[in-house]
A and B are shown apart, each in its own frame.
Chain A
Amino acid sequence: MNKHMSQNTKGMIQLFILRFFAYAILIFLCILCLFFFYLMVVNSTRSNAQLARGFSLLPKEHFLENLVNAWNDASINIPRGMLNSLIIALSTAVLTTYFSALTAYGIHVYDFKFKKLAFTFIMAVMMIPAQVSALGFVQMMNKLHLNNSFIPLIIPGIAAPVVFFYMKQYMESVLPLEIIDAARVDGSNEFHTFNTIVLPILKPAIAVQMIFSFVSSWNNYFIPALLLDKAELKTVPIMIAQLRSADYSKFDMGKVYMFILLSILPVMITYIILSKSIIRGVTAGSVKG
């Protein structure tokens, strides 16, 4: 009995130590991830003079002042930049996910000649980095007089092989072809079936891909910087880059931090709204439900 007890306590202690280390590592990683966000928030509450003095962990009282200054800055139109970025990122997210799902549906559901070839081709496109084709793309857009327009930033996003691949894999796990057959027999035409039956089933996958494409479009600097040079069309990443290249001695650092805080706000909001779906989407298909 006594021996049994001691074995039991020994096991408990082992478990405790194991958990202690596991939690310690997780907490450390958490801090590592969140510390810089915290620092940014703290810095956005400090004035330029306070920032110049050095590093601080405690927030100060200049938050509103920085906000008003940043929002009303004459040289960089923050509200306009955010609006531009929002228009581009939202439309890209919606179009990318819809059309990728549609393409994946086509490949998943229909049998046609060269289906495999089509699939391989789409996968091959995935391997080409944006930088390689960028030069030709920018030249083409200039020839089409589409520079200084949002169209080249939104429309090409429709062809997104990665999103397509994700959707295809997701469909394989959740979309039995019988459901489509059932809809056909019920009298639904193909597009109607896709919009009313397939899209709702794909909701978790769509949520995940929407966030990813929204964030990557929101953060995209490379192509917009090559195409947009009119001040009123500039997006947030371009503006941040401009800030960084501005003269530090004249610039209000509090304002800069405030701007950066504002720029990541939409991303955080989308994440918070859709995070449940992300978790569901990432784990979906692992367990048949």
Chain B
Amino acid sequence: MAEVKLVNIKKVYPHSEEKKKSKKKDAPQKKTNLQITAEGVVAVQEFNLDIANKEFIVLVGPSGCGKSTTLRMVAGLEEISGGELYIDGELMNAVAPKDRDIAMVFQNYALYPHMSVYDNMAFSLKLKHLPKAEIDQKVREAAEILDITEYLNRKPKALSGGQRQRVAIGRAIVRAPKVMLMDEPLSNLDAKLRNEMRAEIIKLRERIDTTFIYVTHDQTEAMTLGDRIVVMKDGYIQQIGTPQEVFNHPANLFVAGFIGMPVMNFFDAELIREGDRFFVEPDGHRVELSEEKAARLKANGVQSQAVTLGVRPDHTDLTEEGISCKVDVTELMGASAHLHANVDGRDMILIVSTQDTKKIPMRGDEIHFSFDGDVAHVFSKEDEHNLEW
């Protein structure tokens, strides 16, 4: 139970000797868009975040965005190149991991293979020299919570993936840490088990009641688990907000495309301002933006311009007239159907309800669709930020 404060955190991986040499010969090959400076590769920068006591924070982003690096810096497993990290008001930059009173769950479980489940969970308590009876009680309590009591005497290799992950979580919770760090704990599990464990983590959170920092690249996990989510890309924070805020008001094109399943549809469109009213016009079809949106655009002094328009697949409706396109693929999902189509060279998906639609359009059918003015997002063509922001 603790507040965690990250102030202007930065992580730079210095160039190794070889890289310096090779850099002179030819330009470095970029894997991601991380900044490469004279100091080295910048993995994380300008990371500012205040995490409240008992808050569940999810760091989410594509691989290589610096989310795990940030978590490892909080854990003390990675040196902080710049900025300050406070846990409960205390500066932690130079404190060893063992003295930070944190616990961490790793993606590949990282159980000690030669120890039984019991010993795995008791390891940290033994290091604290707690009395045996107390250790036993704590381990059994945690095992009870995670439903692994019957496996306490087994070795990790005799357990399934889901059970191993439970043990890994158990090992973290026996210590009642100030901050619980989880590094993609569910990504090694199969889809069904992942759903189950996600629910378990939500339940677990109610029981153990501590501050969580959770890293994932899976936006479903981010949306369902987090009190607030932090979307990252290329070492920068893109947006911090509650899952609903991020979903409804994405700060930029990246966040809009990253959060939400299936991904948001983007069109090239014109934003037209007529006095206090705003319209978007993709493909010659004009839709007026809601008053709320218009007010925000007006406050930002936005004028008529070419924009990237974003509309979520579930916010589109089939209409008599509107933007026209041809269906490429129809995926029947039961309650709904996903129509894949192409508008002006951009692929897009429409979700229609199979209940309400009389005839589901199939491959080759010509359709028209539209959307409401309160679900359209307009992004600057220049720097891709949301013009409402």
Q: Which of B107-115, B274-282, B374-382 has 4 or more CB atoms under 8 Å from chain A?
A: B107-115
Kindly identify which residue among A187, A192, A201 contacts B114, using a CB–CB cutoff of 8 Å.
A201
A187–B102 alpha-carbon span in the complex (Å): 9
Q: Is the CB of B124 within 8 A of A187?
A: yes
**Given the complex of chains A and B, what is the CA–CA distance between A138 and B96 in angstroms?**
46
User: Given the interface contacts A186-B123, A186-B171, does A181 sit within 8 Å of B98 by beta carbon?
Assistant: no
Q: Are A187 and B128 in contact (CB under 8 A)?
A: yes
CB distance B113 to A201 under 8 Å?
yes
- Residues of chain A with a CB closer than 8 A to B157's CB: 289
Instruction: Among A178, A186, A200, point to the contact of B124 (Cβ < 8 A).
Output: A186
- Find out whether the CB atom of B113 lies under 8 angstroms from the CB atom of A185: no
Digit string of A152-186 for contact with B (CB within 8 Å is 1, else 0)? 00000000000000000000000010110111111
Q: Report the minimal beta-carbon distance from A110 to chain B, rounded to whole angstroms.
A: 12
A181, B110: Cβ atoms closer than 8 Å: yes
A-B contact count (CB 8 A): 62
Contact of B98 among A188, A197, A200, A203 (CB under 8 A): A188
Contact yes or no, A181 B106, CB < 8 A: yes
Complex interface: chain B residues within 8 A of A133 (CB): none
B293 to chain A, nearest CB (A): 46
Most-contacted residue by chain B among A179, A186, A197, A289 (CB, 10 A):
A186
List of B residues within 8 angstroms of A181 by Cβ:
72, 75, 77, 97, 104, 106, 110
Distance, CA A22 to CA B157, complexed state (A): 37
B127 and A182 within 8 A (CB) = no
How distant is the Cα of A185 from the Cα of B127 in the complex, in angstroms? 11
Using known A-B contacts A181-B77, A186-B171, determine if residue A176 contacts B110 with beta carbons closer than 8 Å. Answer: yes
B114 touches A185 (CB 8 A): no
Whole-angstrom distance between the Cβ of B7 and the nearest chain A Cβ: 22
Does B103 reach chain A (CB closer than 8 Å)? yes
Asked if B77 and A185 sit within 8 Å, CB to CB, the answer is yes
A-B contact pairs, 12 of them (CB 8 A): A176-B110, A182-B106, A185-B98, A185-B103, A185-B104, A186-B98, A186-B123, A186-B124, A186-B175, A187-B128, A201-B112, A203-B114
Chain B residues near A (Cβ < 8 Å): 72, 75-77, 96-98, 102-104, 106-108, 110-114, 123-124, 127-128, 157, 171, 175
Q: Closest 7 interchain pairs by CB?
A: A178-B110, A186-B124, A187-B98, A200-B114, A182-B110, A187-B127, A178-B106
